[in-house]
């Protein structure tokens, strides 16, 4: 107990140290840990953190803490915290807070500066999968006829007032705010400060940008393909609205990967972050119930051939091998297909090619392991035709595993369903039923 108390005291002192060189993420981690060790000390600590620092810390904290923060921090302080956040982080915080405390979230919006409120409302209005929902409006821009020296002076003022951070480019616009291109700061500083941006050779400008309504996946691909650090966002008329930065893209990639892992396991990411055991259990029970139904379907197939199994006990011994090999082969194909789809390496035009490739791979493996398991079965039970039965069944099941492992996620995507959701359950059902039916069916025809 004394060790825990000492740890609590150390965490509290570290968080309270205003001169600490800790990154906001590290402070957020320590606060989260303190919350689990001593809730009262945690509440006391967050109330002492200045709004400007808390803005950076809260952006790094888990969603469930953002949802509950208004219960322990005054609305007035939350207004100041929100005002000091980058616009994209502020919009995310307001959305998270509104999940549990909609009235408080609206009160915060109403007490913000008119311009800040308008910006946040615009960002919140976007759908989650739209590029605009992930942009921040704080950026460094300059008019095409502006002198480079004047633009650099403006950047200095913006940085000193802490209105912008993580600046890598100057985004060039015309008098109507139409986006023209971007130039890196490391290139900007080497040009003559008396020149205007219009005097710069256009080969120095990068013109990568994306429409605010475009799918965020397109932005992720652009960052990956072109090694971008930021990406300008424009509206339908080409006006510059904001930018997406690389740190947001990293978060999106991580979230997507995590979501895929959860979905393939039949669990919900948001539900798993809940503290309620009941909600987590309820979410998992839904997919387990579906899995139970599919298992019953496989059992029904086995029940049809109960007489065959009773006549030859060796079938009961070998059945799990056929089902297991099919399940594993299918999972390999499914995982590779879903991952390539997530990375944008497979589209509807590549569907036939993908299925064909996976079927060929599965057939080759099926032939290889058919010979192996057929030989093992013969040596084990001394029944020559039993080896033939399981060998043929192995080829059939691995063929179906390769086909359906690619076909199922591609079909779900075509119908607008996340391929990671439900694919595993459907595939397991197919490989189990095909495996048991082919093995026991062939045994009934050939052996009995």
CATH of domain 2-125: 1.25.60.10
Question: Strands across the sheet with 230-234, in order?
Answer: 210-211, 230-234, 240-245
Which pLDDT belongs to residue 272?
47
Mean pLDDT of 107-133: 93
The domain segmentation of the chain, as residue ranges, is 2-125, 141-245, 269-446
How far is it, in rounded angstroms, from Cα 381 to Cα 308?
A: 16
Half-sphere exposure of 367 (CA within 13 A, CB side): 5
Which pLDDT belongs to residue 4?
57
Contact yes or no for 287/262 (Cβ under 8 A): no
- The fold of the 269-446 domain, in CATH, is Tetracycline Repressor; domain 2 (1.10.357)
How far is it, in rounded angstroms, from Cα 327 to Cα 332?
A: 9
- The fold of the 141-245 domain, in CATH, is CBS-domain (3.10.580)
Which pLDDT belongs to residue 61?
92
- Which is higher by pLDDT, 64 or 267? 64
Q: Which of 214, 174, 164, 216 is nearest to 196 (CA)?
A: 174
pLDDT tens sequence across 43-87:
988 988 889 889 999 999 988 899 999 999 999 999 999 999 999
Give every CB contact of residue 347 below 8 A, 6+ residues apart in sequence.
Answer: none
Q: Does residue 171 carry a pLDDT above 60? A: yes
Band of the pLDDT at 273, cuts 50, 70, 90? low
Which pLDDT belongs to residue 169?
92
Residue 325 φ/ψ region, left for φ over 0, alpha for ψ in the -120 to 50 degree band, beta for the rest: alpha
Which pLDDT belongs to residue 166?
85
Q: Which of 420, 271, 218, 252 is nearest to 331 (CA)?
A: 420
Mean pLDDT of 213-222: 91
Give every CB contact of residue 377 below 8 A, 6+ residues apart in sequence.
Answer: 314, 318, 383, 386, 387, 390, 391
pLDDT tens sequence across 96-109:
999 889 999 999 99
Task: Judge if pTM exceeds 0.75.
Answer: no
What are the DSSP E strand ranges found in 133-190? 141-143, 169-173, 179-184
């Amino acid at each position: 107990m004394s060790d825990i108390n000492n740890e609590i005291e150390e965490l509290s002192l570290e968080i309270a140290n205003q001169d600490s060189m800790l990154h906001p993420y590290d402070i957020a981690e320590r606060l989260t840990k303190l919350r689990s060790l001593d809730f009262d000390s945690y509440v006391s600590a967050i109330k002492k953190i200045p709004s400007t620092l808390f803005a950076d810390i809260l952006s790094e904290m888990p969603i469930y803490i953002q949802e509950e923060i208004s219960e322990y921090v005054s609305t007035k302080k939350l207004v100041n915290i929100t005002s000091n956040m980058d616009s994209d982080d502020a919009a995310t915080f307001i959305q998270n807070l509104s999940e549990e405390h909609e009235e408080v979230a609206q009160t915060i919006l109403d007490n913000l500066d008119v311009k800040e409120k308008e910006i946040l409302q615009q960002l919140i209005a976007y759908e989650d999968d739209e590029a605009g929902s992930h942009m921040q409006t704080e950026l460094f821009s300059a008019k095409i006829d502006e002198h480079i020296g004047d633009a650099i002076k403006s950047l200095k003022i913006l940085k000193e007032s802490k209105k912008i951070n993580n600046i890598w480019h100057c985004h060039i616009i015309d008098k109507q705010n139409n986006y023209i291109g971007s130039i890196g700061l490391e290139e900007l500083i080497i040009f003559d400060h008396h020149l205007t941006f219009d005097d710069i050779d256009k080969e120095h400008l990068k013109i990568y940008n994306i429409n605010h309504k475009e799918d965020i996946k397109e932005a992720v691909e652009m960052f990956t393909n072109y090694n971008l650090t930021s990406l300008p966002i424009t509206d339908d008329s080409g006006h510059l609205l904001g930018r997406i930065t690389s740190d947001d893209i990293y978060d999106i990639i991580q979230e997507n990967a995590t979501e895929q892992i959860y979905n393939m396991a039949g669990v919900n990411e948001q539900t798993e972050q809940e503290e309620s055991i009941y909600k987590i259990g309820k979410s998992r029970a839904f997919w387990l119930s579906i899995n139970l139904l599919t298992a019953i379907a496989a059992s029904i197939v086995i029940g049809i051939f109960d007489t065959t199994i009773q006549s030859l006990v060796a079938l009961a011994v070998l059945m799990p091998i056929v089902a297991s090999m099919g399940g594993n082969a299918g999972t390999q194909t499914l995982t590779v297909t879903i991952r390539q789809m997530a990375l944008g390496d497979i589209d509807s035009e590549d569907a036939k090619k993908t299925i064909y490739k996976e079927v060929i791979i599965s057939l080759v493996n099926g032939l290889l392991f058919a010979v192996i398991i057929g030989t093992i079965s013969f040596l084990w039970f001394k029944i020559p035709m039993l080896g033939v039965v399981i060998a043929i069944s192995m080829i059939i099941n691995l063929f179906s595993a390769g086909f359906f492992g690619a076909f199922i996620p591609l079909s779900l995507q075509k119908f607008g369903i996340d391929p990671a959701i439900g694919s595993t359950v459907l595939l397991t059902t197919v490989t189990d039923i095909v495996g048991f039916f082919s093995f026991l069916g062939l045994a009934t025809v050939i052996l009995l």
